[in-house]
Structures are given as C-alpha cells and as structure tokens.
Amino acid sequence: MRGRMALLLGLAMLPAGAIAMQVGLNAVEARQAAFEETLGRRALQSISVERSAIDELRELLRVLAASPELRESGVGDCREWLGGVVERYRTIASMAVTDDRGFVRCSVPAAPSGFRSRNSALRQRAVARDGFTIGFVEYSALAQRPVLAAMEPIRNDAGRRVGFVSASMAIDDLRELLDRGRSLDGARAVIVDLDGRIIAQSSVDRSRRAPGLPTVEQIRRMIGPEPAFIEVPHGNAVVVPLHAPDLYAVMSWAPDQSPVRRWAGLAVSIAAPLMIWLLAIGAGWFAIEIFVARPLSQLESAARGFARGEDVMEGPSLASAPDEIRSLRRTLAAMAKTLRGREQRLIEALSEERALLREVHHRVKNNLQMVASLLNIQARDARDESEAWGLARAHDRVQLMALVHQRIYSSGEVRALRLDDLAAEIARQLLQSRGAQAKDVTPKIDVGEARVDVDRAVPLAFLIGEGISAALDSLADARGELALSLRQDPDGEARFAIITSGQAANTPSPSTRLIDAFARQLGASVGRTPGSAFALWVRVPPAAHNSAAGQSDSATRQDHTQQQAGAE
C-alpha cells in the first residue's frame, strides 16, 4: 500500500515537478541567452577600432569620388592628390583611379601607362553592386602584396558611373591593428570575407592555450546581420558584422570559468527544482505514512483480530491517528462485537437444528424398524408362499429406508452421505434378508468413494436396492456370483453396475418397473444387457443437472414411487 501511495503521490505531483524542471531549464536557457548577448556586445565593442578604420577608409573614398577636381584633373594632378592622401593615412598601401573599363588613370605607387587592373572578384562585385565594396585581394599589382581593398564608384554630373577610386590596406597593417585591439580585451580576432575565408587574424599567445576558431563551413552558416554565438574548442566565439555584407569579424575568448564549474552550475540549475520536487514528495509521503498508512495498517491488524474473535486494544499509531480513522476503528470494534453475538446465536441455532434433525432421523429409523419388524412377523404367519414373498420384499424396502435414515443421523451430516458405504451396506443387508435362499450367492463389491445429497439418497438407495433384488431374483437356482461396482466422476456423475453369473430364471422380476420409475425420478439412464443372467448399468447425473421444475416435482414423484414400491 505504501508503494502505491508513494506512486500516486509522485504522479499527483508530476505536473509540479515538470513545471519546476521547466523553470530550471528556462533559467539555464536565460543564463545562456544572457551570456551570448553579453558576448555579442563585447565583440561589437571590441571591433570598434577596426570598424572605425574601415568607416574612415570608406568616407575617404566617398569624398574623393565626389570631388570634381579629381574627375577633371590630369594624370599628374591626380597622382599628386593621391600621394597627399597616402602620406596623410599611413595604413593605406596603395590608391588608384580607374575608368569603367579598368584602365588606371593614376595610382600610388605609379602604374605603367596603359595598365589595366585585373578583373578580380572584388571588382566584379563592385560593378554589380554599383556602390562601395570592400574585400580581400590575394595579390595587389600596385602594393605587391595581399591587401584589403575598397572601391567607390566615380560618377559624372549626370550620375553615370565613369570609374572607380580604390584604396588598399596591407594585411600586415591590418593584423597589427587586430593585435593592438586584442591587447585590451584578450580575445582572439579574425577578419573574414563573405565566403568565410580568413583575411587577417591576431597573433596567438603560445604561452597559454588559445581558444579555437569556427570552421569555414560554420562561419558561412553564421554570417548575418546579427551577432551569432558558437562554442569552439577551449572557448566561445561570436561572429559579428564588421562591414556587411563584405567583411565579418570572428571573436573568440577563453571561457571565463572552467568546464567543471560550468557543468556544475548547469547541474545545480536543473537539479535544484528536481530536488525541491523530490523533497515535496518525501514530505507528502512522510505525512501520509504518519497520519494515514500506519494508522490504516494498525486498523487492518485490528480488523484481522476482530475477524478472529479477539478483543484488540488501541495501539499507539491509532491513538495519534486522525479522528476519522479512530472513529472507523471504534465502528469496526462495535461491528465485530455485534457479529460475534450473532455468530454465537447462529452456532447455537445450528447446533439445535442439527440435534433436531438427527433426532427426527433417529425416530424415523426406529419407526421404520418397527414397521419392518411387524412385516417380518406378518410374513412368518402368511397363508401361502406368494404372500410371504411379498411381505418379505416390503420388509426389505422398509429396512432400506431405515438404513438411509440411520446413516444420516449416525454420520452427523445433514447435506450429503457416503454413497459407497451405503451401497455396500444395502448389498450386505439384502443378501442377509434372503437367508438360506442366497447362501450360495457370492457377493463381489467394488465401490469407489462417492457422495450423494441427502435429498437424493432415498431414491438412489431404492434404485440400488431394487437392482440388487432384481439380480437375486434372476438367479434360478440361487447360486452364482453377484458383482456390484460403483464410481463417481469429478463432476459428480455416479455410475454403478450390477451383474450376476449363473443360470437365469424365466420369471421376470417385479423390481424392473420400480428401477425404471426411480431412474426417471433421478434423471438417470438405465442400460441392460440381454442374453445374460442379469446385467444392469445406471448413470446418475449430478443434482445440478436437474431443472428447477424437476426438483419441485421430485418430492411428488418420490412419494408416488414409494407408494408403488409398497404396492409391489
């Protein structure tokens, strides 16, 4: 019971446990979201220097592209313009002004006359976008090295594009810029293009384990207008737009706490609600154990004691039990006392009934024996042999009835009799009553254990007795063997057979009609084998096979059959 109550309590509190667990998971998710948001803001603040440099480069190109003097100046003046800009901005590696077909008008450093710039991917994007474009160039013919190049379209007064003004920044200068910023925030920084390729990255401190970087495929999936968070080996990384959609910065930091502490915090966040739920279940189970389970167990023990007829004292568990359970215990005690009184009265009434029934059967047996004695006296004074024979058969039948009633009161049973003992006694009694006429008849009795209802004992005893009488009548010279066998199936069906060996008499026995009458009364089937001295098989179904209507008429048929037996 305790296990089932604990299970029910756990199921009842399962929604609360699920809510508590969800609260814990939400807390973990909120903590992770706050951490990612903080890391994103930190990354945006960390690349402010790089972003300012790119914004400054863009503003410079925008101003130059919008300058009429640059559009209208000759090659020499154009080169002077660009040279002044390069001297002012030390991070610029090269600058150039090209027409729309890519031929260089002027550049710093100077390009050969008629030099045409390579149709790079950056130039193709700038032409397609028709706006400011920045990207990585693996090798710049002007700067003679890898650069980060930017292009701004030049337009005429009609707004039509007539060329580009471009500037580049050496990758080494860009890396130096990254290192200078990382000395302040301690992060590892990488600048990538829109294809996820690394353009420049900060130097790695070999004295300690540096945080890892996302793969190119991961960077491509994370590129977007908003910062994107990802876990990397030995740290956490954020991809933020540096100049979308051309440049992005990847910032990675070593974890601010060890993995053990991080997982411990996660476990606490999840386990704390679970522990609260388990403690609630434990408290509920303890309350049920103290105020319900133990009192009910004590109440059950008391009920068992009441069932055994014992007077059970109130235990300590019941003394501290709720009033409802204590009231139930008092009710059970009163009920047990009432039931014991009723049971005692029923036992006394049953004992009286049994005594009365035994007395009735005893008196009926005595009366029947008195009648049998009178018939025996009358048979000795009979005028002829036929009258004596009829009185002797009547004497046998009365004795048979007396035998049944004697068995009933002597056994003490009022519902069932041992049919096997009764059948064997009937055979011995009938052989004894024949006296000298049956002295040469050898009985062979083979009976198995069988029982019969008291209500059916008399007709069944008559059926067996008439069968044995018919078998004795069938022996012409009163010499031979008389076999009686009896068996009962587990379902209650009784089967008996009476067979004789010897010379058969020609005179039919008057018991034949009585055998059929008693068989009909019991619903039994009768079989006979012609050609032998005597062979009778009878199958008596159990009492449950009789219909209710048949049982209601059984007493009438029994009286009629017994009257017929008396007439015979």
Q: CATH number, domain at 78?
A: 3.30.450.20
Question: Are residues 406 and 425 located together in one domain of the fold?
Answer: no
The answer to whether position 226 is within a domain reads no
Q: What is the mean pLDDT of residues 327-345?
A: 80
Query: C-alpha distances in angstroms, 554 versus 145, 162, 464, 546, 550?
Result: 127, 130, 18, 10, 6
Question: Are residues 394 and 339 located together in one domain of the fold?
Answer: yes
Res. 540 pLDDT band, cuts 50 70 90: very high
- Which of 386, 412, 438 is the C-terminal boundary of a domain? 412
Question: Are residues 431 and 405 located together in one domain of the fold?
Answer: no
Question: Are residues 380 and 489 located together in one domain of the fold?
Answer: no
Backbone angles phi, psi at 191, to 5 degrees: -105, 125
Token representation of residue 244: 């979308």
Query: With the C-alpha atoms ordered 34, 39, 44, 45, is the resulting torsion angle positive or negative?
Result: positive
- Which of 151, 174, 197 is the C-terminal boundary of a domain? 174
Task: State the pLDDT at residue 565.
Answer: 45
Is omega for the bond preceding 109 within 30 degrees of 0, making it cis?
A: yes
Q: Measured between alpha carbons, how far is 426 from 401 in angstroms, rounded to an integer?
A: 10
The answer to whether position 550 is within a domain reads yes
Which of 99-113, 244-258, 267-281, 423-437 is least confident?
267-281
Q: Tell whether the model's pLDDT for residue 557 goes beyond 50.
A: no
Q: What is the mean pLDDT of residues 346-367?
A: 80
Q: What is the mean pLDDT of residues 429-457?
A: 86
Q: What is the mean pLDDT of residues 242-250?
A: 89
Question: Are residues 348 and 469 located together in one domain of the fold?
Answer: no
Query: C-alpha distances in angstroms, 530 versus 171, 519, 535?
Result: 130, 19, 8
Q: Tell whether the model's pLDDT for residue 567 goes beyond 70.
A: no
Question: Are residues 405 and 422 located together in one domain of the fold?
Answer: no
pLDDT in tens, 388-411: 778 878 888 888 888 888 887 777
Question: Are residues 482 and 562 located together in one domain of the fold?
Answer: yes
Which of 217-231, 329-343, 544-558 is least confident?
544-558
Question: Are residues 424 and 563 located together in one domain of the fold?
Answer: yes
Res. 564 pLDDT band, cuts 50 70 90: very low
Question: Are residues 385 and 429 located together in one domain of the fold?
Answer: no
Q: Where are the beta strands (DSSP E) in 171-221?
A: 188-193, 198-201
How would you classify the pairing of strands 479-488 and 440-447?
Answer: parallel
Question: Are residues 428 and 555 located together in one domain of the fold?
Answer: yes
Q: What is the mean pLDDT of residues 358-369?
A: 79
Looking at residue 365, its amino acid is K
pLDDT in tens, 376-388: 787 777 778 778 7
In DSSP notation, 29-54 reads HHHHHHHHHHHHHHHHHHTHHHHHHH
The answer to whether position 438 is within a domain reads yes
Q: Measured between alpha carbons, how far is 535 from 526 in angstroms, rounded to an integer?
A: 11
Q: What is the four-CA torsion angle of 416, 420, 424, 427, rounded to 10 degrees?
A: 80
The answer to whether position 210 is within a domain reads no
Q: Tell whether the model's pLDDT for residue 553 goes beyond 60.
A: no
Looking at residue 472, its amino acid is L
Q: Tell me how many domains the chain contains.
A: 3
Which of 6-10, 37-41, 137-141, 555-559 is least confident?
555-559
Which of 355-359, 464-468, 554-558 is least confident?
554-558
Res. 281 pLDDT band, cuts 50 70 90: confident
The answer to whether position 261 is within a domain reads no
Q: Tell whether the model's pLDDT for residue 291 goes beyond 90.
A: no
The answer to whether position 64 is within a domain reads yes
Q: What is the mean pLDDT of residues 61-87?
A: 78
Task: State the pLDDT at residue 143.
Answer: 85
More confident residue, 142 or 7: 142
Question: Are residues 522 and 428 located together in one domain of the fold?
Answer: yes
Q: What is the mean pLDDT of residues 128-150?
A: 90
Token representation of residue 492: 């209650």
Length of the chain: 568
Residue 353 sits in which domain range? 322-412
Token representation of residue 227: 């910062």
Q: Measured between alpha carbons, how far is 315 from 295 in angstroms, rounded to an integer?
A: 9
Of 354-358, 521-525, 532-536, give the range with the top mean pLDDT: 521-525
- The SS3 of residue 465 is helix
Query: C-alpha distances in angstroms, 498 versus 442, 448, 468?
Result: 13, 14, 7
Looking at residue 55, its amino acid is D
Given the structure tokens 């149709």, which residue do they identify? 119
Q: For the domain that residue 519 is a member of, what is the CATH number?
A: 3.30.565.10
Res. 363 pLDDT band, cuts 50 70 90: confident
The answer to whether position 5 is within a domain reads no
Q: What is the mean pLDDT of residues 418-425?
A: 89
Q: Are 287 and 231 in contact (CB under 8 A)?
A: no
Where helices occur in 135-204 by DSSP H, the ranges are: 171-185
Task: State the pLDDT at residue 113.
Answer: 83
Token representation of residue 541: 């179904």
Question: Are residues 438 and 514 located together in one domain of the fold?
Answer: yes
Q: Tell whether the model's pLDDT for residue 524 goes beyond 60.
A: yes
pLDDT in tens, 12-26: 666 766 776 777 777
Q: Tell whether the model's pLDDT for residue 549 goes beyond 50.
A: no
Token representation of residue 493: 């069906």
- Which of 129, 145, 174 is the C-terminal boundary of a domain? 174
How high is the mean pLDDT of the chain? 79
* The pTM of the whole model exceeds 0.75: no
Q: Measured between alpha carbons, how far is 73 from 70 in angstroms, rounded to an integer?
A: 5
Which of 3-12, 261-270, 542-551 is least confident?
542-551
Q: Are 181 and 189 in contact (CB under 8 A)?
A: yes
Q: Measured between alpha carbons, how far is 488 from 421 in angstroms, rounded to an integer?
A: 13
The answer to whether position 457 is within a domain reads yes
pLDDT in tens, 464-513: 988 888 888 887 566 788 899 999 998 989 999 998 886 666 666 677 88
Q: What is the layout of strands, in order, in the sheet containing 198-201?
A: 198-201, 188-193, 247-253, 235-243, 228-232
- The 10 Å CB-count burial string (b at 16+, else e) for 144-170 is eebbbbbbbbbeeeeeebebbbbbbbb
Q: What is the mean pLDDT of residues 119-137?
A: 91
Q: Which helix (H) or strand (E) holds 341?
A: helix 323-380
Percent of the chain with pLDDT over 70: 82
Residues forming a β-bridge with 230: 237
Task: State the pLDDT at residue 551.
Answer: 43
Res. 33 pLDDT band, cuts 50 70 90: confident
